[in-house]
């Protein structure tokens, strides 16, 4: 055992006596990869540092928010300046409107006939992605007067009751069917369908159409590993939902402002006719590392929220001025050049990892959605959760640990996406590439 591991071991033991499982979010416990989680004390650029000072090139990026790199100077300065003016007012601030306008402008596309499509007319700021999706669903139910919700197996939308059925992310990592503590009548309001199967959606609407408030879908699934929608799938969901008077909630908490300046919707909208989700949810990048998330969409739906409408939603820290400053600085820093860098870095890394696996004869599928990527240990190309679950997931822990020993921090679960940042320069990428041969050998054995 090296010293670093010793320090982390001690911290983990102590944490376990103070915090359930020693962590405040389950995947951090390294349950599916084994070993001791690294306790991080500092992060800068593409690097994170554990309590022992060991430096890792980071491919987690705080699960997405650190798109510009950790502790990016313009973001840190914006936060410091805002903090000096007061941490929280519990009242309206100008910066909330600035962030909302930035989001509304960025999530837009010019349609094929030259029309400007702007599906977000109003935005409500909250603090976590869970709050955003939970509130969007309540709003969809309030607006339609219906109760049922469709979600897809392997999609993660946070940990609110009713969304944990066949959820991806930590729930998939722990191989749980859902969560204890969710009342059966609540769970029964969620219809869980296989992903990328439009027939299944049509069949559900044929049977329950007048009771379905909406469909919630990750814009591109990235919580069962990355699994992009088939071309036209999200647009078809919009069409079916609208034919039946239901709403489409496009969950861009993970993909929003990460895979393009306007999220996955914008990639699809620039590629073909723009479909119109009724509501979007955002998180992660929108706060640049501070607790910010949002729901937004059609004005007539959004105005159903209190105080103008009957659907209640609120938050003491919603629109917090320090968090707003981080979000604004991050979005302003996320320029076209940044997205080009993320795309090319993802291309290089995905190809290098794939070649390393090939050299060792490790069957795998490269999973991509824009600059998000991951690897499924299977010969086939997965299209849904069942396919992803059928992979040789046991190959990931030895791969993960070989990379960690070489100073590269990957997501501690095969069911999570890998995240690159604007700060992943040649030196960082080369360290990752250098670590790959031994790690691929570990995955092969
Ligand atoms: N929706 C998606 C697509 C997510 O990936 C996540 C978190 O990973 C959430 C919702 C929940 O966000 P939060 O962890 O901020 O509650």
Closest listed residue to residue 117, CA positions, set 242, 251, 274, 281: 274
- Strands 365-369, 293-297: pairing is unpaired
User: What is the average pLDDT across 138-153?
Assistant: 97
Q: What is the DSSP string of 3-37?
A: HHHHHHHHHHHHHHHHSGGG-SSGGGG-TTT-SPP
User: Please, are residues 402 and 374 in contact by the beta-carbon 8 Å criterion?
Assistant: no
Residue 285 CA to ligand 1 center (angstroms) comes to 11
Residue 133 CA to ligand 1 center (angstroms) comes to 8
| Nearest atom within ligand 1 for CA of residue 63 | 8
Please report, for the chain, the start and end positions of each structural domain, with discontinuous segments joined by +. Answer: 3-67+344-444, 76-333
Give per-residue pLDDT as tens, 47-104. 999 999 999 999 999 999 999 999 999 999 999 999 999 999 999 999 999 999 999 9
- Distance, CA of 168 to CA of 150 (rounded, Å): 15
* C-beta 254 within 6 A of ligand 1: yes
Pick the CATH number of 76-333 from 3.30.70.3040, 3.40.640.10, 3.40.50.300, 3.40.50.1820: 3.40.640.10
Distance between alpha carbon 187 and the CA centroid of its chain, in Å? 23
| Nearest atom within ligand 1 for CA of residue 293 | 15
> Which pLDDT belongs to residue 445?
87
Query: What topology is assigned to 3-67+344-444 in CATH?
Result: 3.90.1150
Coil, strand or helix: which one is 241?
A: helix
Q: How confident is the model at residue 195 (pLDDT cuts 50, 70, 90)?
A: very high
> What are the helix and strand counts (H, E) for the chain?
15, 15
| Nearest atom within ligand 1 for CA of residue 129 | 12
Note the ipTM here: 0.99
User: What is the average pLDDT across 362-374?
Assistant: 98
User: What is the average pLDDT across 157-182?
Assistant: 75
Residue 294 CA to ligand 1 center (angstroms) comes to 11
Q: Which helix (H) or strand (E) holds 232?
A: none
Q: How confident is the model at residue 169 (pLDDT cuts 50, 70, 90)?
A: low
* C-beta 387 within 6 A of ligand 1: no
Q: What is the DSSP string of 86-154?
A: -S--SS--HHHHHHHHHHHHHS-EE-TTS-EE---SEEEEESSHHHHHHHHHHHHHHHHT--EEEEETT
| Nearest atom within ligand 1 for CA of residue 169 | 8
- Distance, CA of 270 to CA of 116 (rounded, Å): 11
* C-beta 133 within 6 A of ligand 1: yes
> Which pLDDT belongs to residue 177?
61
* C-beta 204 within 6 A of ligand 1: no
Query: Helices 233-243 and 198-208 sit at what angle, rounded to 10 degrees?
Result: 10
Q: What b/e readout covers 384-402, taking b as 16+ CB neighbours within 10 angstroms? A: bbebbbebebebbbbbbbb
Query: Helices 426-444 and 396-405 sit at what angle, rounded to 10 degrees?
Result: 140
* C-beta 50 within 6 A of ligand 1: no
With vertex at residue 333, the alpha carbon angle to CA 329 and CA 339, rounded to the nearest 5 degrees, is: 140
Give per-residue pLDDT as tens, 271-296. 887 899 999 999 999 999 999 999 99
Enumerate the active-site residues.
Answer: 156, 251, 284
% of residues, the chain, pLDDT over 70: 96
**Residue 176, CB half-sphere, CA atoms under 13 Å: how many?**
18
Give per-residue pLDDT as tens, 376-411. 999 999 999 999 999 999 999 999 999 999 999 999
86 C-beta neighbours (distance < 10 Å), count? 10
- Distance, CA of 415 to CA of 376 (rounded, Å): 8
Partners of 280 in the β-ladder: 250, 296
- Checking if the pLDDT of 162 tops 90, the result is no
> Which pLDDT belongs to residue 1?
46
Between residues 188 and 368, the one the model is more confident about: 368
């Amino acid at each position: 055992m090296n010293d670093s591991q010793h320090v982390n071991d001690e911290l983990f033991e102590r944490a376990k006596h103070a915090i359930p499982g020693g962590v405040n979010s389950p995947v951090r416990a390294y349950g599916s990869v084994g070993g001791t989680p690294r306790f991080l004390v500092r992060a800068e650029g593409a690097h994170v540092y554990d309590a022992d000072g060991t430096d890792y090139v980071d491919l987690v990026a705080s699960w997405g928010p650190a798109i510009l790199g950790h502790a990016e100077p313009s973001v840190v300065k914006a936060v410091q300046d805002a903090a000096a003016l007061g941490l929280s007012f519990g009242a309206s601030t100008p910066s909330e409107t600035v962030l909302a306008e930035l989001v509304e402008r960025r999530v837009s596309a010019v349609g094929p006939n030259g029309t400007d499509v702007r599906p977000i007319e109003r935005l409500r700021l909250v603090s976590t992605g869970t709050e955003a999706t939970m509130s969007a669903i309540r709003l969809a139910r309030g607006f339609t007067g219906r109760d049922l919700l469709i979600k897809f197996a392997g999609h993660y939308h946070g940990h609110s009751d009713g969304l944990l059925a066949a959820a991806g992310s930590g729930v998939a990592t722990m191989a749980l069917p859902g969560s204890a503590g969710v009342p059966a009548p609540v769970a029964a309001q969620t219809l869980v369908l296989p992903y990328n199967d439009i027939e299944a959606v049509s069949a559900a609407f044929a049977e329950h159409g007048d009771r379905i408030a909406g469909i919630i879908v990750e814009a591109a699934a990235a919580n069962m590993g990355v699994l992009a929608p088939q071309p036209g799938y999200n647009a078809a969901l919009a069409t079916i939902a609208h034919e039946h008077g239901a709403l489409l909630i496009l969950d861009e908490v993970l993909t929003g402002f990460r895979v393009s300046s306007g999220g996955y919707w914008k990639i699809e909208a620039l590629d073909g006719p723009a479909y119109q989700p009724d509501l979007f949810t955002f998180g992660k990048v929108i706060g640049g590392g501070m607790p910010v998330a949002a729901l937004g969409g059609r004005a007539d739906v959004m105005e159903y929220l209190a105080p103008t409408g009957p659907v209640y939603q609120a938050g003491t820290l919603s629109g917090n001025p320090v968090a707003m400053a981080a979000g604004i600085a991050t979005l302003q820093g996320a320029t076209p050049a940044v997205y080009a860098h993320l795309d090319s870095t993802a291309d290089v890394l995905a190809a290098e990892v794939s070649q390393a696996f090939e050299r060792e004869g490790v069957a795998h599928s490269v999973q991509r959605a824009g600059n998000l990527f991951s690897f499924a240990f299977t010969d086939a190309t997965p299209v849904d959760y069942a396919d992803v679950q059928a992979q040789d997931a046991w190959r990931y822990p030895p791969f993960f640990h070989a990379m960690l020993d070489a100073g590269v921090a990957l997501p501690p679960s095969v069911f999570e996406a890998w995240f690159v940042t604007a700060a992943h320069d040649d030196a960082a990428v080369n360290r990752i590439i250098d670590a790959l041969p031994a790690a691929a050998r570990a995955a092969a054995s």
